[in-house]
Chains A and B, each alone.
Chain A
């Protein structure tokens, strides 16, 4: 069947902000969908609240709405754009839930819009666990025993029938929130209560535990003619019990015989047909009992998923693109396979390499969080690696993680020194370490893969490790082979001639990095590299071709390995290499992928051949049709230099991929690789505090006073000189790690103790903290001569809260023209002094009309996509053009360079999205350490409306009326007063804790007092639980009432009551409330916003 002609306009639902469980894989899938459907001639309307995405770049969809993903807003867009169809299967669980809401609320029928890809009954059958179970049982397929409960009593009854341990899964939650395995009755009662609350329909499933069983996933596709194919099989290294997003996974499945695999495949087809997913991709999970082969169905996602993105990158089969084409009526055999060009998409990819995915965690950001892995996802990103063997792929994946490891051990880091010591000393130290490692094998955690290595090094047998971890023996044996080979490596330099070459070659085949070989032989990594090159032990590059070389492939998607044949044929064209951002983590996410992709497209426009290197399977940049050549490789000096040796690029671009490529600059420069854009020397200055301060002095840019302390006494002396509060941090960390604002001597003493523990002998930096200063982010573009101030963003939260966690607004709404021109002057001067060619981001703090500089980064910042989408000036694209040698004047009109963003007649608010619900036992207050995983943008005519939209998009509904719970710490009561007055004026009732209530009463304002937790019932927690309040304003205070504050904040998060923890945010919320009360939502596409700002169209 050819494509449908009754559809003209398709609306695509995005997945909203990056959250744990839903990351940039849906930018990848959505971007593919837009490109595919546009190419087919459809008009594409996109809605997504996440400005950091590539899909929301206005050059992709025909109409791009950065609006909250809620039914009432979507309906407004439907009214305006009149799509015939909505494609909800590419925007993760968010889009699917939104589609259900639109269908059930009658929006779709009211506007005669059809769901394509998956219809409502199919979504419900897959998503509603009861319907799913019934469907599977009717097919005669096996599932774990289970039952549904709506109360704790019912839940207990079911659990007693099944027997502990059991798994609890709340219905309709994202990424398994509230899911978990419980072993005892006590745990069970607590977990059931939480699960019932987490589920929007107060329903939980209690399930037989299949803990320790092998876990598999199949990626299935189906077309309108009922043709089904499996794209990829995935085996979880971590057995059942760990969320697949938190598991190390491999493709293809390794421990299934053909008989077992085909049975699984048969079941998958039966399931996709019975669920009724009419077209597109689905992900189906199975568990297999390793002892008798019993297979059970675990779950199904009737949509493109994180695993689909992984499967696409693992095989070269573009699942999202094909799913989009199938949704508009094409059949699999009507779509060509891009890679072979000659064969159709109606086949099953086969692969002749091994794929390993390892999740990236961010527990260091959430001190106190439970690090045990279970069925609720906790990782924030992932890295994928390809190799000819599991061993090679695993070691590549580890070094791609950017956790300072150079492979699986053998690098002197992590536990390796302790293992070495234990082996040398034996005795108690050995026993203690062994016990610790055994515990880590039993309890799934983010370091388990390293613990396996340690356990084997310490002499545990394969069977011991299997017994403790339940991980399949095949995987453990592979790791054992790595351990065994490692033992031979110290003898490398004793070998000679052919023997040495062969041994080194085989060592590389085992995935060992130059760094590891250097560590084991007592040489510098660079010496190993030189030896390799001298002996001709260099990687060969093989193609990802979907067909195991059966057909000629045309798609330039490569991975490195050590084999006889190299398939790479580098061209002689002028070319640039763009380094990606690696795995998503807190502080470095999708924003940088946006910059990389826009950069790549721009270089291509300028006639360059583009080479992309990245190792994050969720991204658009690792889509093989973005760049001319894609290398799916770890971003380490060794791996990048190897590619440089082959490709000999004219230049390497390091400013789009965040901190990752910048860290490689010294090694690349040393090897003689040309860095495009801002010179490496300037990058160095910005990273070197001393030299940077010198430049600031010369340019007369004020900076908060500071000092370096090696002891508490010194720190105290500096703090007293600067006067409290001061900001303290260890000297060696970046990105806000372990930063703290300190108000008095005892706090300082405590911190110095903690920090000293983190870095013995390392000094701490003490900065004057600019209390209540306004923080400002600036993005600018420069060619070294002219500077375009692209965006001045005023933070809503005060300085001291990490810029990534603070909401911000463009254009600035409280800064005076004098301050703004001062900011511009400082920015211009600094950009010129640093000889910036491309992008620079500077953070300022404004206090008493003085503009202080906080830091500068001569690279693309987190805010580039937000600024680009707000102003319509594509910054990353223009930065690439400058790097090719173009001047700013040749690409932007002079008056724009001069005036820029002040022309904007609307307001865009960016709000951070925080993973509080993911981590129990952590406080929800913001601070200098970044904790947010994603962001949303609200755009509208004024600040109040834009802010209200941003909050709505972030999942927090600004109320129009109701009761507000207020609890203010001792330092902010006076400032809080106008907010309270305003709220009362707006018709809100106020309840407050004792001291806050007393304070409010002084001003003869109406307030009800509420008990603190220790004072009796009903208390603050009760009113939150019962949703008697619609908003909580709670600012952290000194230690005394910290416990109460903590519980208030946690409760608000758990029971989804909007909460603000700073007075600045409270003020903004009041603005939002005013806007909500006075107007209805209205929507406008980015293209419309930008059209109205006709003057800022860049020159092409």
Chain B
């Protein structure tokens, strides 16, 4: 969460046109490493890491987390689910293939800060239009390179995700630690309201064709690729702000409702939980719409059904977590990004079938309602970044909508 002035509003309205924005602003200039200043990352427990700034000047607060994906830094920093977080990439060379307009998950960078071991001073990819450093500066993101990211990761693993500050202005360690301590954390915070779209819009599908399904997407900070995956399957997507009422949604007579990913503590997003609860209520007496939740959407469904959520020590962020699909017995390597989890015990007696779990730590990764056409997964079948093998879940959503037609 930046303390500096934020320009959410204008970004929100334009989110569906982000290709145009980024395409226009991208230009090639070279980065001169020598002119870069110092940047310090301070954690609330007193740990301090000093490196070189590779982004904007400023001071930024957030939860320090790490992501173990080797590729996909661009998708990661533009994913609204990272709102309020300072992301450390565990892989050591970041920025090698630059920034490409096609790989934006949103029109802007949502992460509160970015931490890498070494940012490439050259870009090498035929699609690349800009360097990572230029991109970070343009989007006003405070970022640092040259710290022992493995030490930081090990520390977060042992001590848990925690509040942090990344600064290019204040180089006084103890002052920074105090600031980090005083900053607001994530727990109990509704961050969805900052990243959701301001008003309802219909997703502009670049491949114009006949729509076969109408989907209402409750935007808690959706990634572009959720929209893409639905669009390529013939969905007309009506994107609703997270605050939309269930009646608004049902008014467009959707075949399906997509509950998007999003940042922060799910329990704090009471209004969305309430909306989902009402949609489920509607389903008890109507055949549709089918509901599909991803990540925060999965947590929304769990909470709406009366379950509860808890915070993981340091979350799941990466592209290599194995998830077992209980129904098929198959393993999916998944794209993950969440700090909170639905407690499976809390879903007992809720007429729910647990369908997916994480083979690393046994946490719940997906469930479906036994009688209603509603299902969800904690991980990211839309990938971007990450493996593609879970895309079948979008097909399943389509099947459910087809069946209820």
Contacts and interface: CB of A to CB of B under 8 A. Distances in A.
Contacts of B229: none
Interface stretch (B118-126, B194-202, B284-292, B348-356): B118-126
A293 B126 contact: yes
Contacts of A229: 333
A262 B385 contact: yes
Contacts of A650: none
Interface string B365-392: 0000000000000000001111111000
Interface string B58-78: 000000001011111011000
A153 interface: no
B71 A388 contact: no
A474 B122 contact: yes
A531 interface: no
B122 A477 contact: yes
A601 interface: no
A256 B153 contact: no
Interface stretch (A20-28, A348-356, A1035-1043): A348-356
A351 B320 CA distance: 11
Nearest to A546: B320
B100 interface: yes
Given A474-B122, A477-B121, A343 B360 contact: yes
B322 A347 contact: yes
A542 B153 CA distance: 13
A352 B90 contact: yes
Contact of B154 (A266, A388, A473, A565): A565
A353 B329 CA distance: 33
B47 to A, nearest CB: 10
Interface stretch (B143-151, B204-212, B396-404): B143-151
A254 interface: yes
Given A258-B75, A352-B92, A389 B359 contact: no
Given A255-B96, A389-B93, A343 B359 contact: yes
A564 interface: yes
B331 interface: yes
Contacts of A565: 148, 150-151, 154
B90 A549 contact: yes
A745 interface: no
A258 B385 contact: yes
A542 B330 contact: no
A474 B120 CA distance: 8
A332 interface: yes
B321 interface: yes
A432 interface: no
A347 B319 CA distance: 10
Contacts of A258: 69, 71-72, 74-75, 103, 319, 384-386
Contacts of B121: 477, 481
A258 B320 CA distance: 13
A352 B91 contact: yes
A334 to B, nearest CB: 11
Contact of A227 (B69, B118, B331): B331
A81 interface: no
Interface in B285-302: none
Contacts of A350: 68-70, 90-91, 318-320
B97 A257 contact: yes
B124 A474 contact: yes
A885 interface: no
B214 interface: no
Contacts of A354: 92-93
Contacts of A549: 66, 90, 150, 153-154, 157
Determine chain B's interface SS by DSSP, over half rule.
loop
A563 B69 contact: no
B170 interface: no
Nearest to A474: B124
Contacts of B72: 257-258
Nearest to A261: B71
Given A257-B103, A549-B90, A564-B148, A349 B320 contact: yes
A351 B91 contact: yes
A548 B153 contact: yes
B388 A262 contact: yes
Contacts of A290: 126
B333 A550 contact: no
A255 B148 contact: no
A542 B322 contact: no
Interface string A905-932: 0000000000000000000000000000
B331 A346 contact: yes
Nearest to A345: B322
Q: Range of interface residues on chain A? A: 35 or more
Contact of A348 (B148, B320, B324): B320
Nearest to B91: A352
Contact of A390 (B93, B125, B329): B93
A547 interface: yes
B387 to A, nearest CB: 7
A462 B385 CA distance: 30
Contacts of B102: 259
Given A257-B125, A259-B102, A351-B70, A225 B329 contact: yes
Nearest to B328: A225
B117 interface: yes
Interface in B119-164: 120-122, 124-127, 147-151, 153-154, 157
Nearest to B92: A388
Contacts of A348: 319-320, 333, 387
A40 interface: no
A371 B92 CA distance: 35
Given A261-B71, A473-B124, A474-B96, A388 B333 contact: no
Contacts of B66: 549-550
B228 to A, nearest CB: 12
A473 B322 contact: no
Interface in A342-372: 342-344, 346-354
Nearest to A548: B90
A263 to B, nearest CB: 8
A306 interface: no
A262 B320 contact: no
Interface string A246-261: 0000001111111111
A411 to B, nearest CB: 24
Contacts of A225: 329-331
B145 to A, nearest CB: 11
Of A332, A474, A542, chain B has the most CB atoms within 10 Å of the CB of A474
B316 to A, nearest CB: 9
B203 to A, nearest CB: 20
Interface in A286-308: 290-293
Interface string A996-1009: 00000000000000
Interface centre among A258, A290, A477, A563 (most CB of B within 10 A): A258
A338 interface: no
A548 B316 CA distance: 13
A903 interface: no
Nearest to B333: A348
A291 B124 CA distance: 11
Nearest to B99: A257
Interface in A567-602: 567
Nearest to B33: A481
A563 B360 contact: no
A473 B359 CA distance: 39
Given A227-B331, A258-B386, A547-B68, 9 more contacts: A257-B71, A258-B385, A333-B359, A347-B320, A348-B320, A352-B117, A388-B118, A550-B68, A564-B49
A-B pairs with lowest CB-CB distance, top 5 = A565-B151, A258-B72, A258-B385, A548-B90, A474-B124
15 contacts: A255-B124, A258-B103, A259-B384, A265-B387, A343-B322, A348-B319, A351-B70, A473-B124, A474-B120, A477-B121, A477-B124, A548-B150, A548-B153, A549-B150, A564-B148
Interface of A: 225-227, 229, 233, 252-262, 265-266, 269, 290-293, 332-333, 342-344, 346-354, 388-390, 462, 472-474, 477, 481, 542, 547-552, 563-565, 567
